[in-house]
A and B are shown apart, each in its own frame.
Chain A
Amino acid sequence: MDQETKLKLLRQIIVISSAFCILVAFLLVFNFWQIKSHKPLESKSIEALVQRLADDPKNEELREEIRDFDLLARKAYFTSEWQIKTGTYLLLFGGIVLAIALKMKTDIEATIALPENAPENPLKNRIISHRWLLISGVTVFALALLSSYLTKDFLKNYHPGLLSDAPAGEKSEEIQLISIVDSSAVLEADTAKTDTSKNNPKEVSTLAASQAAKKTTAADFKNNESSFRGYLGQGISYHKNIPTDWDGASGKNIKWKVAVSKPGYNSPVIWGDKIFIAGGDKVSRLVSCYDRNTGRLLWEKEADNIPGSPAAPPKVTDDTGLSAPTMAIDGTNVYAIFATGDIIAFDLDGNRVWAKNLGVPVNHYGHSSSLIYWKGKVIVQYDTSKGGRMLALDAGTGNTVWDIARTNKISWSSPMLLDLNGKMQIITTADPSVAAYDPETGKELWKADVLSGEVAPSAATWNGLVFATNEYAKTVALDAAKNGALVWQSDEYLSEVSSPVAYNGLLFLATSYGVLVCYDAQSGENIWEKQFDKGFYSSPMIAENKVYIIDMDGIMHILKADKSGTIVSEPKLGEPGFALPVFAEGRIYIRGKNSLFCIGR
């Protein structure tokens, strides 16, 4: 074979092997992307089937189906892996052929010749080299120094015993019932009697006499803003002479305005002349107390040095933050929870009463479920990606009264209370269940699998009906007296974050795309709907027969809470608003993005 024929043959081999390599490389990248984007071992179908099996553990047919799906998923996974591996070797083989062909071609064409380039100036080269060496050295050391400033030494935060050596798996998933409280006196926080069950080894604590709260009545809770959406979390205020006209920019009807210390999406709570908000960032989390009449900061206390608290807060999104849950207050203490899992109680003078960490919630947005108080207990809805819990903590000591596992997925909604024929129920919403619990024992009373997705809106109740909604799911009305039987449902308007409120036979629901809609609570009939320019993350509140709801631009939309839906006024706060308005003695208190406002005539 002459040289020219060899070269021709080699060129053809080079072209073919190059095309082969490119094709295999493309297929490999495609396969790799496919595996990354569709993980067969994390199949939603299998998850759904396993969920079904949990409800019906004796269903052998279902078990077989899960096994078949699992086998299929494993086959898919290993087939993809085989394809990648084989493709890699094919690429390697193609590359070797290409390299050999190129080398042979280069060798045939190579000739020994004198160097064409003019010799480089060695002095100049040395000057340039020394500069680049200096740059390299400085860069390496500068990066090392920079890393020392950017790196946090977690070991320094350790003190012996921080991580208890209790073996894994001790946490009971069963109901941990230990105390029964006399329920005859509504909201009598200090009359808790303990009935320690001697037969129950999983006893955690008792209410005992630890709750030294002064006597509070339902009227006290109605007169104050004790939790997210007020008394029982119903979204209804009992105050009168509420202003409907103000302007944050000009100061009209603004009694006082103070800048908040730390960001937070929680709403204020009020007891007497004191108003409280919480805030937090990566540096610290704190509770602030202001004089409700003057706006003067009375005290501000950090939630720090809590055993089990993470050295670094978990990652949260900006639209949730580390302090989204609204606090609860009972006239003795104020209770705050943060996305770190820290829960803390201060008395109304700012003295720490107790604090503990519930375990850092695994939550991709950040924990946002607010606290609610009920008869000496602080109720916590603690739904995370790693499982859900409902807890009741002794308000006086922080000890666990009951702690039950929930089977639902992660949620961001808050618990509320429903008075059903004189018997209280805690109502929660999550994917997939709207569930009711006995606040005394934590026992699940009923549940209805009606929701799906990332549930943030809390429930509303009226006349024994429970209303729940979520975006991409539906709005439902359930009959609490019939264990959550469906009364009506609609998928017309759905809320993403804002919680609905029910009042006088009407259900008000706000959407994140700016629609406020009014349904007949009994039938689900659409009575009216209003479209506004900005969407709602805040929830509607009822005060003096009016609906108050603030949009994301800080404009408060005030409408008559009746079938007319007449707009009363639309005053502007002057800064974005996400928290709820709270009411006290003819005044409205609103937390804007940066400030806390007091509005009054």
Chain B
Amino acid sequence: MKNISRIFLSLIFALTLFQANAQQRFPKPEFETGYVQPSPTTPEPRSTALEYTDVLVLLAALSLASWLVIKKRSRRGILWLSIFSLLYFGFYREGCICSVGSLQNITLALFDPVYKVSITVLLFFLLPLVFALFFGRTFCAAACPLGAIQDLIIIKPVSLPVWVRKTLSFIPYVYLGFAILYAATGTDFIICRYDPFVGFFRMDAPYIMIVIGIALLILGLFFARPYCRVFCPYGVLLSWMSKFSKHHMSITPAECISCKLCENSCPFDAIEIPEDEKIRTPKTLRENLKRFSLFALLIPVWVFIGGYAISSSHVLLSRAHPDVYLSELLIAHPEMKNDTKNIDIKAFRESGKTFDQLVENAAVIRTKFRIGGWYLGGFLGLVIGIMVMNQFLFRKKEIYEPHKGDCFSCGRCMSYCPVEKLK
């Protein structure tokens, strides 16, 4: 009760503080003085010293989170650390750069030789993955502001049917694939553009994004961490790393007595429950083996179909790129080329390029999308193929343990364990 009161007061204080600093937006000056209007959506760059401080804070948060989860086994400690991360990485750092979005910077740097990433960005991308490789998703537990804001408002989580969870788990792969495609082609950073919570952190966002953010938070009251589970593309990478983690948290500090008390403790449905051995008859095992083999053989087909389908849609996908968009707009409506009221056309005119150059560049980008579409579609086909195949892959489970890929290491389940109480 006391703790919750503190959280409440802290949040009100934080909200009041930022509300007091919020300013009304005025129209841009309509005169040319060389004055540059500050961007309302992108934070000002920080000094190098502060950037390194941020990395150190992240490193400290990850280390502390891992210690709290693995050694200390303290749910309370994780909770307080996540509040700190929300305030520091969220409201103070205004959510940028975050590890989730950093994968786009890394992607663009790999594909565009002109674009360079700072060591800070690289570390923000790598550190959580390295920690996940050793300790599980402790970043999600307490160091991610996006996760923290959702975690704090979980009220009455409901458990979704397995098939719904499995189906929804495909979406983050799609989001990841498209985020990489759009970043690699220099089109857009869609993870940042559609970040539902960054508007709260910066106290400024397009109205629709605020509405989506609020909708996700309301949904999060009953469907715990909807963004993390259904959308987060960085979560895919963390999940891959975490599956190999050697020191992942466990529900019980000693031996599991299979008391079942923790079965409903996880709001994210991330506890693997031992299966009844009786259902594995020789007949079912044979059938499963047949299905497993069939779907394993079909994986190349999925890869091809996916590649062909997504590559075929390259015309539509590439329209998100400003050059392609402008080229098509002008080809469809040539009369607009002299429309000085259109800010895109005006900006292009001022660039000094010719229309031929614009269209030529658009064609190059479109080709990139066609080729990238093969990779993206192939990747998505591979994911679907493996996911379907895995439905018929049985692993023997005798105790209650967290699913290493899906578990956010929040530590809620630990307090449900009677063995923990006896410790």
A122-B275, A155-B327 known; A360+B312 contact, CB < 8 A: no
User: Distance (Å) between the CB of B2 and the closest chain A CB?
Assistant: 11
* Smallest Cβ-Cβ distance to A90: which chain B residue: B19
Among A126, A155, A169, A359, the residue within 8 A (CB) of B363 is: A155
What is the 8 Å Cβ interface bit string for chain A, positions 160-179, against chain B (1 contact, 0 not)? 11111111111100000000
- Interface residue B113 (Cβ < 8 Å from any Cβ of A): no
Whether A154 lies near B4 (C-beta < 8 A) is: no
User: Please, how many angstroms separate the alpha-carbon atoms of A145 and B308 in the complex?
Assistant: 8
- Interface residue B72 (Cβ < 8 Å from any Cβ of A): no
Residues of A within 8 A of B315 (CB): 148, 151-153
Among B1, B166, B313, B331, the residue within 8 A (CB) of A151 is: B313
Stretch at the interface among A135-143, A255-263, A322-330, A453-461: A135-143
A132-B166, A168-B337, A308-B334 known; A147+B214 contact, CB < 8 A: no
A102-B156, A133-B167 known; A359+B335 contact, CB < 8 A: yes
- Interface residue B249 (Cβ < 8 Å from any Cβ of A): no
Stretch at the interface among B88-96, B121-129, B259-267: B259-267
A89-B19, A129-B162, A153-B315 known; A310+B332 contact, CB < 8 A: yes
- Interface residue B343 (Cβ < 8 Å from any Cβ of A): no
Within 8 A of A (CB), among B171-226: 174, 200, 203, 207, 210, 214, 217-218, 221
- Interface residue B372 (Cβ < 8 Å from any Cβ of A): no
Residues of B within 8 A of A122 (CB): 275-276, 279
Within 8 A of A (CB), among B271-299: 273, 275-276, 279, 284, 291, 295
Among A82, A115, A144, A161, the residue within 8 A (CB) of B264 is: A115
Residues of A within 8 A of B200 (CB): 92
Whether A102 lies near B221 (C-beta < 8 A) is: yes
* Smallest Cβ-Cβ distance to B170: which chain A residue: A136
Residues of B within 8 A of A144 (CB): 309-310, 312-313, 377
User: Please, how many angstroms separate the alpha-carbon atoms of A100 and B309 in the complex?
Assistant: 46
Residues of B within 8 A of A121 (CB): 279
- Interface residue A95 (Cβ < 8 Å from any Cβ of B): yes
Among B155, B263, B362, the residue within 8 A (CB) of A115 is: B263
Whether A310 lies near B334 (C-beta < 8 A) is: yes
A95-B217, A102-B156 known; A133+B332 contact, CB < 8 A: no
Within 8 A of A (CB), among B226-283: 260-261, 263-265, 273, 275-276, 279
- Interface residue A22 (Cβ < 8 Å from any Cβ of B): no
Interface majority SS on B: helix, strand, loop or mixed? helix
Within 8 A of B (CB), among A464-478: none
User: Distance (Å) between the CB of B162 and the closest chain A CB?
Assistant: 4
Whether B170 lies near A96 (C-beta < 8 A) is: no
Whether A147 lies near B384 (C-beta < 8 A) is: no
Whether A115 lies near B316 (C-beta < 8 A) is: no
- Interface residue B27 (Cβ < 8 Å from any Cβ of A): yes
- Interface residue A114 (Cβ < 8 Å from any Cβ of B): yes
Residues of B within 8 A of A148 (CB): 309, 312-316
- Interface residue B328 (Cβ < 8 Å from any Cβ of A): yes
User: Distance (Å) between the CB of B292 and the closest chain A CB?
Assistant: 10
Stretch at the interface among B7-15, B31-39, B42-50, B51-59: B7-15
Residues of A within 8 A of B295 (CB): 130
Residues of A within 8 A of B324 (CB): 155
What is the 8 Å Cβ interface bit string for chain A, positions 56-95, against chain B (1 contact, 0 not)? 0000000000000000001000100110110011011101
User: Please, how many angstroms separate the alpha-carbon atoms of A32 and B8 in the complex?
Assistant: 30
Whether B4 lies near A89 (C-beta < 8 A) is: no
- Interface residue A6 (Cβ < 8 Å from any Cβ of B): yes
Among B162, B170, B284, B377, the residue within 8 A (CB) of A125 is: B162
A74-B27, A126-B391, A158-B359 known; A147+B316 contact, CB < 8 A: yes
- Interface residue B416 (Cβ < 8 Å from any Cβ of A): yes
User: Please, how many angstroms separate the alpha-carbon atoms of A247 and B67 in the complex?
Assistant: 95
- Interface residue A99 (Cβ < 8 Å from any Cβ of B): yes
Stretch at the interface among A42-50, A103-111, A398-406, A508-516: A103-111
* Smallest Cβ-Cβ distance to B306: which chain A residue: A141
Residues of A within 8 A of B203 (CB): 89
Whether B156 lies near A106 (C-beta < 8 A) is: yes
- Interface residue A120 (Cβ < 8 Å from any Cβ of B): yes
User: Please, how many angstroms separate the alpha-carbon atoms of A78 and B214 in the complex?
Assistant: 23
Whether A141 lies near B305 (C-beta < 8 A) is: yes
- Interface residue B330 (Cβ < 8 Å from any Cβ of A): yes
* Smallest Cβ-Cβ distance to B330: which chain A residue: A163
Whether B335 lies near A341 (C-beta < 8 A) is: yes
User: Distance (Å) between the CB of B72 and the closest chain A CB?
Assistant: 21
- Interface residue A452 (Cβ < 8 Å from any Cβ of B): no
User: Please, how many angstroms separate the alpha-carbon atoms of A74 and B24 in the complex?
Assistant: 13
Residues of B within 8 A of A142 (CB): 309
User: Please, how many angstroms separate the alpha-carbon atoms of A165 and B27 in the complex?
Assistant: 33
Whether B384 lies near A157 (C-beta < 8 A) is: no
A151-B316, A163-B355 known; A89+B15 contact, CB < 8 A: yes
Whether A155 lies near B156 (C-beta < 8 A) is: no
Whether B335 lies near A360 (C-beta < 8 A) is: yes
A130-B392, A169-B340 known; A103+B331 contact, CB < 8 A: no
- Interface residue A128 (Cβ < 8 Å from any Cβ of B): yes
- Interface residue A123 (Cβ < 8 Å from any Cβ of B): yes
- Interface residue B338 (Cβ < 8 Å from any Cβ of A): yes
Residues of B within 8 A of A168 (CB): 337-340, 349
Residues of B within 8 A of A140 (CB): 174, 309, 380
- Interface residue B388 (Cβ < 8 Å from any Cβ of A): yes
- Interface residue B130 (Cβ < 8 Å from any Cβ of A): no
Among B19, B332, B340, the residue within 8 A (CB) of A154 is: B332
Whether B384 lies near A82 (C-beta < 8 A) is: no
- Interface residue B333 (Cβ < 8 Å from any Cβ of A): yes
User: Please, how many angstroms separate the alpha-carbon atoms of A314 and B15 in the complex?
Assistant: 49
A119-B273, A119-B276, A157-B331 known; A82+B217 contact, CB < 8 A: no
User: Please, how many angstroms separate the alpha-carbon atoms of A474 and B377 in the complex?
Assistant: 63
User: Distance (Å) between the CB of B103 and the closest chain A CB?
Assistant: 21
Whether A133 lies near B170 (C-beta < 8 A) is: yes
Whether A158 lies near B153 (C-beta < 8 A) is: no
5 closest A-B pairs by beta carbon, nearest first, are: A137-B384, A148-B312, A359-B335, A141-B309, A163-B355
6 contacts between A and B (CB under 8 A): A100-B11, A104-B4, A130-B295, A130-B388, A133-B387, A164-B355
Q: Which residues of A contact B (CB under 8 A)?
A: 6, 32, 74, 78, 81-82, 84-85, 88-89, 91-93, 95-97, 99-100, 102-104, 106-108, 112-115, 119-123, 125-137, 140-142, 144-145, 147-148, 151-155, 157-158, 160-171, 308-312, 314, 341, 357, 359-360, 362
With A103-B4, A136-B384 known, 11 other A-B pairs at CB within 8 A are A103-B154, A129-B162, A130-B392, A132-B166, A132-B167, A144-B310, A155-B362, A163-B330, A163-B355, A166-B338, A357-B334
Q: Which residues of B contact A (CB under 8 A)?
A: 1, 4, 7-8, 11-12, 15, 19, 22, 24-27, 152-156, 161-164, 166-167, 170, 174, 200, 203, 207, 210, 214, 217-218, 221, 260-261, 263-265, 273, 275-276, 279, 284, 291, 295, 302, 305-306, 309-310, 312-316, 324, 327-328, 330-335, 337-340, 349, 354-356, 359, 362-363, 366, 377, 380-381, 384, 387-388, 391-392, 416
